[in-house]
Each structure stands twice: as C-alpha cells, then as structure tokens.
Amino acid sequence: MRYPNKKIVEERIEILFNEAEKNQDYADRYVFLARKLSMRYNYKIPKKYKINFCKKCYKYLSSSNCVVRTDPKTKTLNKICLNCKHINRTGYRK
C-alpha cells in the first residue's frame, strides 16, 4: 500500500491528535507519528492541528508547557514553548 487514500491519512492524523489531547504522557510521540505519516505520504497537516505543536522541538503544546499571548499590533497569536523558548506565531486576521 504505497499510495493510500488521502482520506485514510487524514483520519489517522486526526486520531493521533485527538489521542495527544487526551493523553499528555504520549502526546509528543503522537505528534512525531503524525508528522512522520504526513511526510511519508506527502500530506499537509491541517492548520487546526499544526498550531498544537512547536515548530522547533516538535513538542505538543498544552496549557502546562506553553504561554499563549495575543499581539494586537501584528494581529498574531503567540505561543511560547517552555521547552525550547521558541515563539510560534499564528495570524488571526481575516
């Protein structure tokens, strides 16, 4: 099964991120598996899941290991990872 249906890959990534949300002990592993799956089958991780992990150290960002701030000047949502101190910026302007 070299080229599976994109819908199957999407469902698997969704399941992995839902499990990461439920189980914080294995959240980083689930993010690793989702990224590996998306790279193997050349599928982009949807934005609603992509904002949930750090772009530098690939740790799952939850309320215990990140600080969330809004910047009204640049219209961005800044998530500061407490593991690597990287600032993950996401725009919220329409």
Q: Where are the domains of the chain?
A: 1-50, 56-94
Residue closest to 59 by CA, chosen among 91, 36, 26: 26
Query: What is the pTM (predicted TM-score) of this model?
Result: 0.87
* CATH class of the domain comprising 1-50: mainly alpha
Q: Helix 27-40 vs helix 6-22: angle between axes, to the nearest 10 degrees? A: 170
* Residue range 72-86, pLDDT digits in tens: 999 999 999 999 999
pLDDT of 2 > 70? The answer is no
User: 66 φ, ψ to 5°?
Assistant: -155, 155
Give the C-alpha separation, 56 to 86, whole Å.
7
Q: How many CB atoms lie within 10 A of CB 48?
A: 9
Check pLDDT > 80 for residue 3.
no
